Amino acid sequence: MAGHHVDRAALKRDVEHLRARYYGRPVGEIAIRPVVNDVLGVVRRHRLHLPPGYALLLKTVLMHESLVTRLNPGFEFTTVLVPYARRMMVRHFSPLGWGRSVGQAGLDLARLGVELPQQLRRLLSSLQRGDLELAIRPIGLEPMLRRLERTANRLVLGIIAAAFVVALAVLLSAYHVRGDPQMGIILIVGFVLASVLGIYVAWSILRSGRS
C-alpha cells in the first residue's frame, strides 16, 4: 500500500527493473531469498506498507528456505511455491473468487438491512420510555464561569460604593442646610466606608487584570 508521499514514477521504475530481472527466467534458476530481498528493498526504499499477512508470509518463506537449504542444498524452493502461488492468484482473481466476494458483501448488506430497523426500533422505544439520558459536559467553561462570577461580585460592590457616594452627597447637602453636628459624624463614617469599599473594588479589579 502506497501513501500520497510516494514517488510513483520512481516506484514504477523499480518494479519494471524487478520484472525485467526475473521475468522469463526458468523457475529453477530463481532463488527465493534474492527475490524477497529485492522486493523488501523496494518496500523500504519507497516506504510502502505491506499487509500483515504478506509480511508474515515473506518472513516464513525466508525461514523455511534457509532450513530446507541446510537439509537439502539441491532443493529448489520455487518449484514448490509456484503452483501454490498460481492457485492463489486464480482463486483471488477468477470470476468465481469475485463472485464469492460479491456474494459475501451482499449477505452482509442484507443482514444490515434486517438488523438496522430492529436497532432503530429499540432506540426509539428507549427514547419514548425515557431510558436514554444525554449528559452534556462543557469543557473549558468552568474557568470562564468563575471569572464571570468574580466580575459580577465586583460589579455589585461597585454599585454599592456608588450608592454610598450618592447617599453621602445627599447627606452632605442636608448637613449644610441644617448644620446638625451628629450629621457630621455620620458623614465621616459613611465617607470612610465608601472609601474602603472603593479601594477594595479597585484592588480586586487590578488583581484580576494581572492574573
What pLDDT score does 205 carry? Answer: 62
Q: With CA atoms as reference, report the closest residue to 153 among 197, 207, 201.
A: 201
What is the CA angle 180-181-183, rounded to 5?
70
**Helix, strand, or coil (residue 164):** helix
Residues 151-206 have pLDDT tens digits of: 776 676 667 667 766 766 666 666 555 556 666 676 677 667 767 776 776 676 66
- Digit-coded pLDDT (tens) for 91-101: 766 666 667 77
Predicted TM-score (pTM) of this structure: 0.34
**Chain-wide mean pLDDT for the chain?**
72
CB 15 within 8 A of CB 42: yes
Q: Of how many residues is the chain composed?
A: 211
For residues 1 and 48, give the distance between their C-alpha atoms in angstroms, rounded to a whole number.
6
Q: What is the mean pLDDT of residues 145-152?
A: 75
pLDDT of residue 4: 58
- Our CA dihedral for 138, 141, 142, 146, rounded to 10 degrees, sits at -150
For 47-75, what is each residue's pLDDT tens digit? 887 777 777 777 777 777 677 667 776 66
Q: How far is CA 138 from CA 147, 182, 187, in A?
A: 16, 56, 49
Q: Are 160 and 195 in contact (CB under 8 A)?
A: no
CA distances 70 to 67, 94, 136, Å, are: 5, 37, 67
Instruction: Give the residue among 23, 45, 53 at the shortest CA–CA distance from 35.
Output: 23
The more confidently predicted of residues 141 and 176 is 141
pLDDT digits (tens, 9 = 90+) for 35-52: 878 888 888 888 887 777
Which candidate, 43, 41, 35, 39, places its Cα nearest to that of 77? 35
Q: For residue 201, how many other CB atoms are within 10 A of its CB?
A: 20
